[in-house]
Structure 1
Amino acid sequence: MTKRRRRATQPTKPLLKAPQRIGFLDSGAVVGELRQIHEDADDPDAERMPADDELFGALLYAEKHAQALRSRPEAVQRAAALKRVQLWEYVREQSEIHQTRAVEDARQAGAQWIELAPAMAVNAPSAAYNKAKRQKAVELLDETLERQRVRRTPEAVLQAERRLMREQAAERRAQEVAQLHHALLLPVVSRLLEQREFLRSDDDVDYWLEEIEAVLPHCRTPLQKASLDRYFDAALRALSKLERDTAHPVALNEAARLALAAAVELQQQKR
């Protein structure tokens, strides 16, 4: 019987099971718990244990003074050792993230992969490059609905980086469009408010024009700009509804008609 060949896994394909990571951890609190265990065990040197935010030093202390816990029940010793394991794993994860950022800074400063190789404890520029790409996977998510961590291969990381660059470029374009729209919106809205007394109104029209009037002088943050745009759309909807319901133009003079026409044209351009 012919043995079925195993299909090769695509280098960019996500792992079937998301890799387990500690991620965020209040390491200071865990070090504090370790400190308390040593103090409860009457460790004579407990006061020499580094501060809670000195993670590496605190771990070295806990390792060196593990014997001070021998008088405590096994459950306590086990808890202390497990906390050390957890903290070392956290240190390992964080070291990958921070080394990746250091490599990126070095590359931006003109460092070549041949220079980075010995600093990264590898023997060749290609090995330094591959190691840097694998570590970069720690900070990247794939495009699946589950948003899993990217597979730790250079190919997968490159694919994820290209996708991230496309997303960032799209976000920049969207921001540029939004800024341009806001620049066009300000004079149109101001002109509409100037003609407010020459526009027919009801409760809805008055409400949305008052909202525009309130936010317009302080329209600086993205949220305020988005609010102005939303109020503008709502005011035009209210004016259009009033015109349909009354069967009369809402603009009472030529200046108001031109201001309203400019507002409607800008709204249609946005669509």
Structure 2
Amino acid sequence: MARSPRKLNDPKKPLHRAPVRIGRVDSAAIIGALRQLHETAEDGNIERMPADEELYGALLYLEANAEALRNEEARRTSALARVQLWEYLRERADIHQRRAVEDARRAAVEWAELAPALAVRAPSAAYNKALRLRASVIADDGEEDEPLRRTPEAVLDAERRALARAAAERRATAEAMRRHALLEPVAKRLVEHRSGLDDDDEATYWLDEIEAVLPHCHTPTQFVSLQTYVRALVRELRKTERDAACPAGTTEEARLAYAAAAELVADA
């Protein structure tokens, strides 16, 4: 019987099983706790232990002085924490080595020169290893919904998606700033003439919100909040007009401010 042809995997297709990662941990706090174990055990060399922030040196010290812990539970705790921190260090090493490679390339270092530094034999192998290192940074950023296969094709595809997301965010931010430039003077007019719009009910509530956010409106999220409050105020004033069968504003300035806000949110 003829054997069915082997189905080739798409090198860009995500892995079916997500790789297990240590992720972000407070390594200094863990080292501090292990230091306390050694101090409790009256480790005679504890003054030689590097600072909590010096992870690599602290791990070497803990390894060399493991026998100072005479309590079995303390030895178990320390050993397990060291295993975790070495894995954490391995993950971080990929990220920082990737940044070093990028700095080297910006400094006009050729792939042939990078090959021995990356422990590979050929420029093409150095390039591919650098791509795999880039996968570590993408995974660490948590931008991908699916596990990332560490192939050149998958990494480049993920980076294209990251660039597209960044471009979309820039466009959204620019649009938010453009709309805010139009909205801010309108919102200020509403606040300035709020005495002609207050109704001691919903409209007053939204005017309070607009007045509160206006002095601190600097980010896209705040821009959206201001737009939401103005739109809500316009909705309430329209309701007032329908229910009372008369203009919502009690002064000409207030009616003009309301009309400008209504026109602006209608275009949103």
Which bracket does the TM-score occupy, shorter chain normalised? Answer: 0.7 to 0.9
Aligned residues: 267
Aligned match for 1:209, one of 207, 210, 214: 207
Instruction: Tell me if 1:111 matches 2:109.
Output: yes
Q: CA RMSD in A?
A: 3.0
Letter of the 1:259 counterpart: A
Are the equivalent residues in 2 in contact too, given 1:141–1:148 (CA < 8 A)?
no
1:79–1:224 Cα change, 3 Å: closer
1:23 Cα deviation from its structure 2 partner: 1.0
1:6–1:68 Cα change, 3 Å: farther
Q: Matches of 1:173 and 1:45 in 2, distance apart?
A: 58
Match of 1:83? 81
Match of 1:15? 15
Aligned match for 1:184, one of 167, 177, 182: 182
Q: 1:20-99, aligned counterparts within 5 Å?
A: 20-39=20-39, 43-66=43-66, 68=68, 72=70, 77-99=75-97
Match of 2:148? 150
Q: What are the Cα deviations for residues 76-122 of structure 1, in whole angstroms up to 9, with x where unaligned? A: 55544333322221111111111112222333344333333232222
Identity of aligned residues (%): 58
Aligned match for 1:174, one of 162, 172, 175: 172
User: In structure 1, the residue corresponding to 2:267 is in which secondary structure?
Assistant: helix
TM-score (normalizing by structure 2): 0.84
1:155–1:197 Cα change, 3 Å: same
TM-score (normalizing by structure 1): 0.83
Q: 1:114-153, aligned counterparts within 5 Å?
A: 114-141=112-139, 147-153=145-151
Letter of the 1:51 counterpart: A
Are the equivalent residues in 2 in contact too, given 1:199–1:250 (CA < 8 A)?
yes
1:33–1:2 Cα change, 3 Å: farther
Q: Matches of 2:61 and 2:198 in 1, distance apart?
A: 78
Q: Matches of 2:105 and 2:144 in 1, distance apart?
A: 32
Q: Matches of 1:211 and 1:108 in 2, distance apart?
A: 49
Match of 2:263? 265
1:227 Cα deviation from its structure 2 partner: 2.8
Deviates more, 1:27-36 or 1:233-242: 27-36
Are the equivalent residues in 1 in contact too, given 2:173–2:220 (CA < 8 A)?
no
Are the equivalent residues in 2 in contact too, given 1:205–1:238 (CA < 8 A)?
yes
1:126–1:217 Cα change, 3 Å: same
Q: Matches of 1:186 and 1:61 in 2, distance apart?
A: 59
Q: Matches of 2:41 and 2:130 in 1, distance apart?
A: 43
Q: Structure 2: give runs of 5+ residues left out of the alignment.
A: none
Letter of the 1:264 counterpart: A
Letter of the 1:189 counterpart: A
Are the equivalent residues in 2 in contact too, given 1:140–1:149 (CA < 8 A)?
no
Deviates more, 1:127-136 or 1:244-253: 244-253
Q: Matches of 1:200 and 1:66 in 2, distance apart?
A: 72
Are the equivalent residues in 2 in contact too, given 1:141–1:147 (CA < 8 A)?
no
Q: Matches of 2:200 and 2:74 in 1, distance apart?
A: 73
